[in-house]
Structure 1
Amino acid sequence: MSESSAATPGAHPAEPHAASISGRLNWLRAGVLGANDGIVSTAALVVGVAGATTQAAPILAAGVAGLVGGAISMALGEYVSVSSQRDSQRALISKERRELADDPDAELAELAGLYEQRGLTAETARRVAEELTEHDVLAAHLDAELGFGEDTVVSPWAAAGASALAFTIGALLPLIAILLPPAGLRVPVTFAVVLAALALTGFASARLGGSPALRPVVRIVLGGALALAATFGIGSLLGASGIV
């Protein structure tokens, strides 16, 4: 028997609960957003350059610059965002600790009131609150009042690393796809690889999130196709005009 099943008697094996699903969705969000951004932004960049020139060197330079800059940007943005979330969580935990130390009786009454609002009788709510308080008073209040625990405070470094890694992996796909084929096949091969990769990430995110896959797959593939067509068209116009 797994540790999670032992900790939650009667739980269904495939059904996630608060802490596990919260952590999984945080990683899923950072990973999927990073990969999709890496695929689309790098593909749009290299396809746009390929529309203007058939030379491999400018395409490679643009792709590598986009990969490095994008990975750093994604990591920095995720770090700042998740740091703010972590600081808020820590501040709320500290506030709850102070309230428990200053007036434990009022906090117990508040906890019982929260369970009573959820449908328990006053007597049962009081008994539940007392038993949870004896087990772990801070955890009981954090879960009932705030919906998270000390062990689920988000990590900005983990989120930043996941975003940067996912972006890099995603960006490598169109970069490789456009450099390996002959010049005449670069753009169609890149289109095919990118749209297939986007369909895969859309399907994976939907399945991991427990939602139907068709709508997110269609949405992300159409969006990626629009981005590629737009940048290739602009690059072709610039190349034909002699500006580049």
Structure 2
Amino acid sequence: MKKKMSLAQKINVLRASVMGANDGIISVAGIVIGVAAATKDPFSILISGLAGSLAGTISMAAGEYISVSTQSDSQKMALVNETQRLEEDYQREFDFVKQKFIDQDIDPQLAHQATQELMEQDAVGTVVQERYGFNPHEYTSAYAAALASFISFPLGSILPIAAVTLSPDHWRIWLTMVAVTIALVITGYTAAVLGESNRPKSVLRNVASGLLTMLVTFIIGQLIAR
């Protein structure tokens, strides 16, 4: 029977979607800004943006799939190893879990009772969660993570492509930078909310990385144009 993703894992997929869009914005913005700094040909700028979007989409989706699949394989191996440990020395694993509870300032008697009840319900799951730090009953789909990146990256890349191709020649680069900066503020803030991290710092880091990327590619494009 296929396991369902928990709410936390669904939020992780959503966060991956936001960051995928963010990467699409920054990566493609860097490409089109660099090309726009080197040439005023709108066709060349458009093609470079589309090519970057396509390559980035495939790379992000494949990378997400490989990353989640590798994590899943490691978790499965942990389950196998822990099952074997329990068969070889149940008491050792019992004492390990009990000690983990005691280390959290839980009364030894209460820790023993809690360990006994948890181990009776699910010995493997209990020890795995305490030893490796993950819930073996939760499920994150590598396909869902890959699909999220496959969709979000090109969606994010649409903004810099549209901005750089639709803006007037003399304002093309600056309007694109402004549009990208606003988008990075939104994605940085959203990622911070989903990740429960410091929102101003997240936005600042996100905008700074995007501006640095565009500045570097702009300088390179200007050098090539000369």
* TM-score, with length taken from structure 2: 0.87
Alpha-carbon contact 2:29-2:214 (below 8 Å) kept = yes
CA-based RMSD? 2.1
> What amino acid maps onto 1:125 in structure 2?
A
Alpha-carbon contact 2:129-2:136 (below 8 Å) kept = no
Q: Deviations over 1:164-184 (max 9, x none)?
A: 322111111101111222333
The alpha carbon displacement at 1:25 in A equals: 6.2
- How far apart are the structure 2 equivalents of 1:227 and 1:217? 15
- How far apart are the structure 2 equivalents of 1:225 and 1:102? 57
The alpha carbon displacement at 1:94 in A equals: 1.3
- Partner of 2:36 in structure 1? 50
- Partner of 2:82 in structure 1? 96
Instruction: Say whether 1:84 aligns with 2:70.
Output: yes
Task: Specify whether residues 192 and 121 from structure 1 end up closer, same or farther in structure 2 by C-alpha distance, changes over 3 A only.
Answer: same
- Partner of 1:149 in structure 2? 135
For residue 104 of structure 2, the aligned residue among 114, 118, 124 is 118
> What amino acid maps onto 1:83 in structure 2?
S
For residue 166 of structure 1, the aligned residue among 112, 131, 152 is 152
Instruction: Say whether 1:30 aligns with 2:25.
Output: no
- Partner of 1:205 in structure 2? 191
> What amino acid maps onto 1:180 in structure 2?
L
Alpha-carbon contact 1:85-1:154 (below 8 Å) kept = no
The alpha carbon displacement at 1:196 in A equals: 0.5
Count of aligned positions: 221
Unpaired segments of 5 or more residues in structure 2?
Answer: 1-5
The alpha carbon displacement at 1:29 in A equals: 5.2
Task: Specify whether residues 151 and 168 from structure 1 end up closer, same or farther in structure 2 by C-alpha distance, changes over 3 A only.
Answer: farther
- Partner of 1:236 in structure 2? 222
Alpha-carbon contact 1:28-1:205 (below 8 Å) kept = no
Alpha-carbon contact 2:100-2:130 (below 8 Å) kept = yes
Q: Deviations over 1:2-60 (max 9, x none)?
A: xxxxxxxxxxxxxxxxx754x25643553343222211110111111112222221111
- How far apart are the structure 2 equivalents of 1:227 and 1:103? 55
Instruction: Say whether 1:65 aligns with 2:41.
Output: no
Q: Deviations over 1:179-238 (max 9, x none)?
A: 222333322221111010011111111222223322221222122122212222322332
- Partner of 1:4 in structure 2? none
Instruction: Say whether 1:195 aligns with 2:181.
Output: yes
- Partner of 1:12 in structure 2? none
- How far apart are the structure 1 equivalents of 2:21 and 2:122? 39
The alpha carbon displacement at 1:89 in A equals: 0.8
> What amino acid maps onto 1:117 in structure 2?
D
- Partner of 1:217 in structure 2? 203
Sequence identity, in percent?
38
Unpaired segments of 5 or more residues in structure 1?
Answer: 1-18
- How far apart are the structure 2 equivalents of 1:179 and 1:94? 54
